[in-house]
């Protein structure tokens, strides 16, 4: 067991790595930092103060990186206009997921060692996803940052005022949208006999399903603690942060949603809007 001095050292080191991971403009450095977190002992993390959090208003990006939060860029993602566009869009989501998981730990802190351990593992897994996707983009003569990227997920997640809101919004709503579009893209890659992209997407989809299932389990646990119905709790959190229209723009993949732990009523909410 670690003594108190070692615990404090781990606590400070983890916060330093998480902060640098978000703020760094170097994608390779971000990924290497994310990988190291798997090795860290999950010491309690104290939330950063307002001044420090204000320095993380945006994730670190080079000056040449183009952010486009327009609706048209989201439509390109859902329409699969090209294989490279889709790979770039998924890489963008994976990198933001890495940074948002780190941000949640820094904004709200935690004393729960099991929760911290899961979050650090999630960061390293999502970083591996980003690296695989970026390597695949390089096979096509491109790399992440070659195309504009949408940061709407980051902007939405910043609205959360607690760990609960952040986890439910990001895992159960924003990232869960992938369950509706990724399987269709995977089928396209299988049909096109793109075995490399197919293998990558199968790995990512399986682990993404695991992350979302953990998020849905977390939602049910928090609803139970508050003596609330999980469906009503889900609707209340999402509508409070997103607005009354939570209707999905892409067709809902009911099979994958159910596997991930979504109830019949939650699926209907996303079909019809709250």
CB 64 within 8 A of CB 126: no
Distance CA 112, CA 256 (A): 30
> Where do the domains of the chain lie?
1-44+65-158, 163-191+216-274
Per-residue tokens: 239: 């509508």
Question: What pLDDT shows up at residue 191?
Answer: 87
Question: What pLDDT shows up at residue 13?
Answer: 83
pLDDT in tens, 108-151: 999 999 999 999 999 999 999 999 999 999 999 999 999 999 99
> What would the DSSP string read from start to end of 74-105?
HHHHHHT--HHHHHHHHHHHHHHHHHHHHHHH
CA 87 to centroid of chain Cα atoms: 16
Residue 79 pLDDT greater than 60, yes or no = no
Question: What pLDDT shows up at residue 228?
Answer: 96
Band (pLDDT 50/70/90 cuts) for residue 80 is: very low
More confident residue, 7 or 83: 83
Radius of gyration from C-alpha coordinates of the chain: 18
CA 123 to centroid of chain Cα atoms: 9
Question: What pLDDT shows up at residue 10?
Answer: 59
Band (pLDDT 50/70/90 cuts) for residue 247 is: confident
Distance CA 126, CA 17 (A): 16
CB 98 within 8 A of CB 123: yes
More confident residue, 122 or 7: 122
Question: What pLDDT shows up at residue 133?
Answer: 96
Q: Please name every residue paired with 45 in a beta bridge, in sequence order, or none if there are none.
A: 110
pLDDT in tens, 12-53: 788 999 999 999 999 999 999 998 887 776 788 999 999 999
Question: What pLDDT shows up at residue 274?
Answer: 60
Q: Is 36 exposed, middle or buried (0-12, 13-18, 19+ CB in 10 A)?
A: middle
Residue 75 pLDDT greater than 50, yes or no = no
Distance CA 214, CA 256 (A): 14
User: What percent of the chain is modeled with pLDDT above 90?
Assistant: 72
Question: What pLDDT shows up at residue 273?
Answer: 73
Residue with tokens 């049910």: 220
Three-point CA angle 17, 4, 163, nearest 5°: 50
Torsion sign (Cα): 261, 133, 67, 61 = positive
Count Cα atoms within 13 angstroms, Cβ side, for 229: 7
Question: What pLDDT shows up at residue 41?
Answer: 67
pLDDT in tens, 209-244: 999 999 999 999 999 999 999 999 999 999 999 988
Distance CA 176, CA 192 (A): 25
Band (pLDDT 50/70/90 cuts) for residue 2 is: very low
pTM of the model: 0.90
């Amino acid at each position: 067991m670690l003594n108190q001095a070692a615990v404090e050292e781990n606590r400070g080191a983890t916060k330093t790595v998480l902060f640098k991971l978000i703020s760094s403009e170097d994608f390779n450095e971000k990924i290497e930092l994310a990988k190291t977190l798997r090795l860290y002992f999950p010491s309690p993390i104290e939330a950063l103060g307002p001044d420090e959090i204000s320095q993380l208003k945006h994730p670190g990006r080079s000056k040449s990186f183009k952010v486009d939060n327009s609706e048209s860029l989201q439509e390109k993602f859902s329409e699969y206009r090209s294989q490279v566009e889709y790979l770039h869009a998924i890489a963008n989501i994976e990198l933001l997921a890495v940074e948002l998981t780190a941000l949640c730990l820094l904004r709200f802190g935690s004393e729960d060692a099991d929760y911290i351990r899961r979050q650090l593992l999630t960061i390293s897994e999502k970083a591996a996803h980003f690296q695989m996707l970026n390597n695949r983009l390089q096979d096509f003569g491109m790399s992440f940052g070659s195309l504009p990227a949408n940061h709407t997920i980051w902007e939405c997640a910043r609205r959360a005022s607690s760990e609960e809101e952040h986890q439910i919004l990001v895992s159960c709503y924003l990232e869960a949208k992938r369950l509706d579009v990724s399987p269709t893209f995977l089928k396209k890659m299988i049909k096109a006999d793109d075995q490399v992209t197919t293998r990558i997407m199968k790995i990512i989809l399986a682990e993404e399903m695991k992350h979302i299932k953990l998020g849905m389990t977390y939602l049910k646990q928090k609803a139970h603690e508050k003596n609330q119905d999980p469906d009503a709790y889900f609707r209340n959190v999402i509508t409070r942060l997103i607005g009354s229209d939570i209707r999905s723009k892409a067709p809902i993949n009911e099979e994958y949603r159910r596997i991930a732990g979504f109830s019949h009523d939650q699926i209907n909410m996303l079909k019809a809007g709250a």
